[in-house]
Chain A
Amino acid sequence: DAGVIQSPRHEVTEMGQEVTLRCKPISGHNSLFWYRQTMMRGLELLIYFNNNVPIDDSGMPEDRFSAKMPNASFSTLKIQPSEPRDSAVYFCASSLRQGFQPQHFGDGTRLSIL
């Protein structure tokens, strides 16, 4: 079975540009999570969705960040305008919502803002 698919795997762009990260969750999973990993702050949740509805976006750093889930098989995380401090690895994860279900992670997108 296909796992969580993220694209692109690497992104290098200049400050001020718009960045869009994409995620396809595991088919049948009804919860989707976006995490960010940095050396300073470790792994932290940005936002998560249940049944395509955003539940908790308290981790989104500021208005420059936005996330959408238009359907059960696709989500985007957008940064506009990007800044050097946004450089990090961004992970998408999905799970079944019910009970004791683990989150399955994609391979992450390494984002570098110059």
Chain B
Amino acid sequence: AQTVTQSQPEMSVQEAETVTLSCTYDTSESDYYLFWYKQPPSRQMILVIRQEAYKQQNATENRFSVNFQKAAKSFSLKISDSQLGDAAMYFCAYRSASGAQKLVFGQGTRLTINP
């Protein structure tokens, strides 16, 4: 079974600075998808960014980018120019490309933005 590990329960960053959240996963599959979701205090689960495993190019979405290292099974999220609205729980998630469609989530990282 696949597992996702987020080793940083909490992180903090100064407003306008850059922060990187870590995620590692374990799988025997070669094709899969990876996601980062954001959960603010409002409880919504908001998709931040996604990556297809067979694509070597790292995904970017405005201030959000990933560092995908397939061999190391690592998928970190970089947030540039941090804003107060970025404060939230961030979840890394794995989904098989050929088997089960379910998302397997990490335990989450709580990100605090200091003004």
Contacts and interface: CB of A to CB of B under 8 A. Distances in A.
Nearest to A110: B43
B89 to A, nearest CB: 10
Contacts of B16: none
Interface string B56-74: 0000000000000000000
B101 A97 contact: yes
A102 B35 contact: yes
B33 A100 contact: yes
Contacts of B47: 102-104
Contact of A42 (B45, B52, B107): B107
A105 B45 contact: yes
Interface in A1-52: 31, 33, 35, 42-45, 48, 50
Contacts, number: 48
B44 A105 contact: yes
Q: Is the interface of A mostly helix, strand, loop or mixed?
A: strand
Contact of B44 (A31, A48, A95, A107): A107
Interface in A63-104: 89, 91, 93, 95, 97, 100, 102-104
What is the interface residue range for chain A against chain B?
A: 20 to 34
Contacts of A89: 43
Contacts of B100: 56
Given A43-B91, A48-B102, A102-B35, A108 B43 contact: yes
Contacts of B105: 42-44
Interface centre among B47, B100, B103 (most CB of A within 10 A): B103
A45 B103 contact: yes
A100 B101 contact: no
Interface of A: 31, 33, 35, 42-45, 48, 50, 55-56, 59, 89, 91, 93, 95, 97, 100, 102-105, 107-108, 110
12 contacts: A33-B103, A42-B106, A45-B102, A45-B103, A48-B102, A100-B33, A100-B97, A102-B50, A103-B103, A104-B47, A107-B43, A108-B44
Interface of B: 33, 35, 37, 42-47, 50, 52, 91, 97, 100-103, 105-108
